[in-house]
Every structure is written in C-alpha cells, then in structure tokens.
Structure 1
Amino acid sequence: MIKLAVTDAEILSCFPVLVQLRPKLVRGRFLKQVRQMQTEGFQMAFLQDEGRVVAVAGFRVSSNLFMGKNLYVDDLITDAEHRSKGYGEEMIAWLEAFARVQGCLVLHLDSGTQRQQAHKFYFAQGFPITSFHFSKPLVD
C-alpha cells in the first residue's frame, strides 16, 4: 500500500531509500528540509513491503501556462535491493491516479542524463522525452 509520509517517523523512514538517489542528503537535516519543502507544496509518498520502505516519490502539484495543472515528480526511487519487483510501476500508477484526482492534466519528471536504466523504465511506463531541461548554478 502506498501512502503519504505525514509523521516525522514516516518521513525519516524514507531517508535510507532517498539517499540512494540523492547522496548529498544529510540525515540530521533531512526532516527539517522536508518540512520546509512541505510549506512549498512538496509531498512524499512511500511504499512498504513487510514494514520496510522500498520505494519513495517526492512530488508537488502546481500550475503553469505551459501545462496547466500538473504533478511534477521531484524524486522517484526504488531501493536498490528491491528493483525489478514492480514497485516502481506501482508508484507511477499511484502518482498518476493521485494526479487525476487532483485535476492534473500532466504527470512529468526530469531524469539525469546518466540514468540510462531509469530512462528505460520511464519509456516503458509511457513517458516520452518532450523537452530538455537546462539549469545554471547560482552559487559555488
């Protein structure tokens, strides 16, 4: 069953999986960072198997002129020990259903160019490449 991480314990239980995608995360600052992001609309969903978090998705619902109301996936990761068991597909299906209930017109995400295995997964889930994403660091 997939549910939203609401309590401190639920949020912290997602850390071991999320750090696999975002290795610069610091456990001691993680909860405060997520709580701050939640004030900006961030939400986190997680999937457990036998009491252990095996997949996590961080996302936000927003609107823009380009897509209208949309759900953007900030983070999507399945624990390395639990890949190829259908958890990623289950999370994508949950995100799509959540987006539809929210009235979103688009579900979208970015994926680092080095993540070829993730790209294969996204293609298999029906995500075409629709644009390039450019970013410019503003601090050293």
Structure 2
Amino acid sequence: MARTIYYADTDEAILACTEAITALRPHLKEVSILPQIKEMQQEDGYMLIYVCADDKPDEVAAIAGFRRLNKLLGGKHIYIDDLSCLPRHQKKGYASDLLNHIRTLAEQQGLNSVRLTSGHNLAPAHRLYMNHGFFISAHSFMLKLVDNF
C-alpha cells in the first residue's frame, strides 16, 4: 500500500509533528518548535514531511526534515537534518517511505546525492540507511558553544 507523504507547511501540520520531533530532539522545548521550524523554512529552505499511522490516520508516525544544499564537497544534494519515527511505529516502513520520497525528489531534481549525519550509537538507524544504499563517507565533529542540548 502506498502511503501519502505530507508536507508540513502550515502551523497545524508542523504542530502535528511535534511528538516525532521531540522523540528525536528531546532538548527542544515544544513551545519553541513551531517558530524555529518556520524560521528554518523561511531562511534555509527547510522542508518538513511526514507520514501518518496506518491505524490512526490523524497521528503522525514519522517525520523527515531536509534542505537542498550546494557544497564544494559533493555539489548539489539534499541534506536530511531530521528523520524520526515514533517508537510505537518503528519497523513498519514509515521511515523507509520518507527516505524513498526524498531520494525520488533528489533524482527528479538531478541532484548528486542525499546525505545525512547520524549519532554514532544509533545502530538500528544505520542499518536502515545502509539498506537504502547509504554508506559511511565521513566522521562528523561538533564544537559545542552552548550547553542547551
């Protein structure tokens, strides 16, 4: 069964994604999610997509947030900032549906790749990515300047 992928481009749709976002990003305060996503959409071209649960069509099961980037390393590509599936909906294909949608967008736009960064301890996510053809191409480093996450 083909699931519908929705774009969260209204306040209501963004707010419906809150549980899946905070499952991935627990440091975020729920009250800050809507303004931050709207700012990212306006300033960075961030797109938030989601899929609803098969058994609860009014419940968001999984989300993905991504941007189109152009870098010296790799040229034009889609970068997936966020991919989250609620634990009660994992292993049902929701995250795969979102990854497939993003891959199709990249192919339709003639982009060079789809990229993402994943926490080093997220082995189930790594298996998902590798099952979709992703490979480990680099290590990611961060210098924390604030202690809010």
Mapped pair 1:102 → 2:109 = yes
Q: Give matches, 1:1-140, under 5 Å.
A: 1-39=4-42, 40-49=44-53, 50-140=57-147
Identity %: 35
Please give the per-residue CA displacement for 1:97-116, whole angstroms capped at 9, x wherever unaligned. 11222331110100001111
Which secondary structure does the structure 2 equivalent of 1:139 belong to?
A: coil
State the shift of 1:87 in Å: 0.9
Which secondary structure does the structure 2 equivalent of 1:31 belong to?
A: helix
Taking only aligned residues, the RMSD between alpha carbons, in angstroms, comes to 1.1
Where do 5+ consecutive residues of structure 1 fail to align? none
Runs of 4+ in structure 1 off by over 4 angstroms are none
State the shift of 1:72 in Å: 0.2
Cα separation, 2, equivalents of 1:139 and 1:64: 26
Where do 5+ consecutive residues of structure 2 fail to align? none
State the shift of 1:10 in Å: 0.2
